[in-house]
């Protein structure tokens, strides 16, 4: 078996895990979070919302089906570091190209394996999300401790500016038919050819764009810095404010934009976009102890009473008590911890969800929300 270099994971409370290098050799730091998805590591790695985070996968075998060209959420891995129990060196799947190890090496992502990921997960669950440093260059913890001084806390950081696109672009790729064709009714697509969706890119996952395209929108992705005037000049039929990394509060420029867009155009927020909309509507956000990262969170739709199993990835949440009750109706709640998962405006075409209707990775239960977006636009323009 291949011999891997020794590596360590040091948390800011001094907890140390010793393991072996995985991916690139080096040193990296970030907020340690755990994700409970048993598959979908490639989508997770490439999800820009993980910027600044060291992602610990709770499922012990990671890399089994390798890396393929299409299951990506952005063009490169975005995580700041990757933590697994056992990385796979010989992937097996008909679509597999490179091994995960090689892919991480090429992308320069520092990882660590052979650690007790369950113990780490339990530590985070009990003590909250922690900053951590992974190093396969320096395995003496006392030599790594200083680095925490330059490693910022997640709270208060604007990470959107690092992941948003530089220039606007049009998105044309639909959902891959192999995986969706049999199940999603996209029959209204033709009606939609002239409908324009502008997506504010706070670190958007490509599957949101694929969905939007598949239900017929012309999709333009714009940088998060674009202001309301610029966006309205694009004549959108709706604006989607995307997922993204970090704390929503310091992303004031998007919040300002949204404030101005309210009432001007239909709005749909996803994840960080949901938090930004919440802030724009006068609500507050707070940091969760260890966030929601996984593909099995039950969310109850308060309008239908039905439960959907959702894909989630967020460390902050909107405090429902701070939203103006006369304007905002709460629509979705998390059944595990009863945090807010979605709301809509009582009078305006605005709705948003904290979780990921585009899944990827995760269950497809919430794809209906894209149809709701579709209906919202249709109802308005007919």
Partner 1 sequence: MPQRKDLNKIMIVGAGPIIIGQACEFDYSGTQACRALKELGYDIVLVNSNPATIMTDPELADRTYIEPLTPEVVETIIARERPDALLPTMGGQTSLNIAVALAESGALENYGVELIGAKLEAIKRAEDRELFKLAMERIGLEMPKGGFAKSLDEAMEIVHQIGYPAIIRPSFTLGGTGGSVAYNVEEYKELVTRGLNASPIGEVLIEESILGWKEYELEVMRDLADNVVIICSIENLDPMGVHTGDSITVAPAQTLTDREYQRMRDAAIRIMREIGVETGGSNVQFAVHPDTGRMVVIEMNPRVSRSSALASKATGFPIAKMAAKLAVGLTLDEIQNDITGETPACFEPVLDYVVVKIPRWDFEKFPLADIRLGTQMKSVGEVMAIGRTFKEALQKGLRSLEKERYGLGADGKDRFPPFPEDDPHPEQSRQRIREGLRVPTNARIFYIRHAFRYGFSVDEIYELCRIDRWFLQQIQQIVALEDELRQAGKLELPKHRELLRRAKQFGFSDVQLAHISGMSEDEIRELRKQAGIVPVYKTVDTCAAEFRSQTPYFYSTYELENEAAPRDRKKIMILGGGPNRIGQGIEFDYCAVHAVLALKDEGYETIMVNCNPETVSTDYDIADRLYFEPLTFEDVMNIIDLEKPDGVIVQFGGQTPLKLALRLEKAGVPIIGTSPESIDLAEDRQRFEKLLASLGIRQPEAGTAFSFDDAKAIAERIGYPVLVRPSYVLGGRAMEIVYDADALKAYIDRATEVSPEHPILIDKFLEDAFEFDVDAIADGERVFIGGIMQHIEEAGIHSGDSSCMLPPYKLTAADEAILRQQTETLAKALNTVGLINIQFALKDGQIYVLEVNPRASRTVPFVGKATGVPMAKIAAKVMAGRQLREFSLPDTSNHRHMSCKTPVFPFNKFTGVPVYLGPEMKSTGEVMGIGDTFGEAFAKAQLGAGFRLPLFGAAAISVNDADKATVIPIARELARLGFRLKATRGTAQALRAAGLEVGILHKVNEGRPHIADAIINGDIQLVINTPLGRESRYDEYAIGAAALQRNIPCLTTLSAAAAAVQAIEFIQKQPFSVHCLQELYENGQ
Binding piece for partner 1, criterion CB under 8 A, among 47-55, 92-100, 188-196, 265-273: 92-100
Binding piece for partner 1, criterion CB under 8 A, among 89-97, 159-167, 214-222, 233-241: 89-97
Give the contacts of 172 (CB within 8 A, at least 6 positions apart).
213, 219
Residues with a known catalytic role: 271, 356, 358
DSSP 54-110: EEEESSSEE-TT---SSS-SSSS---SEEE-SEE-SS---TT--S-HHHHHHHHT-E
Which of 12, 25, 86, 329 touches partner 1 (CB under 8 A)? Answer: 86
Contact pattern from residue 1 through residue 20 relative to partner 1, giving x for each residue in contact according to CB under 8 A and a dash for the rest: x---------------x---
d(CA 152, CA 98): 33
Is 378 one of the binding residues for partner 1 (CB under 8 A)? no
To the nearest whole angstrom, how small is the minimum distance from the Cβ of residue 153 to partner 1?
22
Is 225 one of the binding residues for partner 1 (CB under 8 A)? no
Q: Which residue in the block uniquely carries the two structure tokens 């072996």?
A: 20
Is 38 one of the binding residues for partner 1 (CB under 8 A)? yes
To the nearest whole angstrom, how small is the minimum distance from the Cβ of residue 282 to partner 1?
30
* CA-to-CA dists, residue 227 to 157, 171, 223, 230, angstroms: 21, 20, 9, 5
Q: Which residue in the block uniquely carries the two structure tokens 């048993």?
A: 38
Contact pattern from residue 263 through residue 302 relative to partner 1, giving x for each residue in contact according to CB under 8 A and a dash for the rest: -------------------------------xxxxx-x--
Contact 136, 109 (CB under 8 A): no
Please report, as ranges, the residues that interact with partner 1 according to CB under 8 A.
1, 17, 34, 36-40, 42-43, 58-61, 64-65, 68, 71, 85-86, 88-95, 115-119, 121-122, 125, 176, 178-179, 182-183, 294-298, 300, 305-307, 309, 335-336, 359-364
């Amino acid at each position: 078996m291949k011999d891997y270099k020794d590596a360590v994971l040091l948390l800011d409370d001094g907890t140390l895990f010793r393991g072996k290098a995985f991916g690139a050799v080096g040193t990296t730091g970030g907020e340690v979070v755990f994700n409970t998805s048993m598959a979908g590591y490639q989508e997770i790695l490439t999800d820009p919302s993980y910027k600044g985070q060291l992602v610990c996968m709770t499922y012990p075998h990671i890399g089994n089906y390798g890396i393929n060209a299409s299951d990506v959420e952005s063009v490169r891995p975005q995580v700041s570091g990757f933590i697994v129990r056992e990385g796979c060196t010989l992937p097996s799947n008909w679509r597999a190209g490179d091994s995960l190890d090689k892919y991480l090496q090429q992308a320069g992502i520092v990882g660590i394996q052979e650690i007790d990921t369950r113990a780490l997960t339990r530590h985070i669950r009990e003590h909250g999300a922690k900053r951590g440093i992974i190093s396969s260059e320096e395995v003496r913890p006392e030599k790594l401790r200083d680095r925490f001084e330059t490693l910022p806390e997640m709270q208060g950081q604007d990470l959107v500016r690092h992941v948003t696109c530089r220039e606007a672009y049009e998105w044309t790729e639909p959902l891959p038919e192999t995986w969706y064709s049999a199940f999603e009714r996209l029959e209204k697509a033709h009606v939609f050819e002239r409908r324009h969706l502008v997506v504010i890119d706070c670190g958007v996952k490509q599957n949101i764009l694929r969905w939007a395209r598949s239900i017929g929108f012309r999709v333009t992705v714009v940088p998060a810095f674009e202001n309301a005037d610029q966006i309205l000049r694009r004549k959108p039929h709706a604006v989607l404010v995307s997922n993204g990394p970090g704390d929503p509060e310091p992303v004031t420029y998007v919040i300002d934009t949204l404030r101005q867009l309210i009432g001007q155009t239909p709005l749909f927020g996803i994840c960080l976009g949901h938090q930004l909309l919440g802030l724009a509507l006068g609500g507050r956000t707070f940091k969760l102890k260890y966030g929601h990262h996984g593909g099995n969170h039950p969310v109850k739709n308060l309008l239908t009473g039905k439960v959907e199993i959702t894909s989630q990835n967020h460390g902050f949440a909107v405090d429902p008590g701070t939203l103006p009750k006369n304007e905002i109706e709460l629509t979705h709640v998390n059944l595990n911890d009863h945090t807010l998962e979605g709301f809509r405006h009582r009078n305006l075409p605005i709705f948003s969800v904290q979780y990921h209707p585009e899944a990827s990775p995760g269950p497809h239960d919430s794809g209906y929300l894209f149809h709701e977006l579709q209906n919202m636009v249709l109802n308005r323009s007919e």
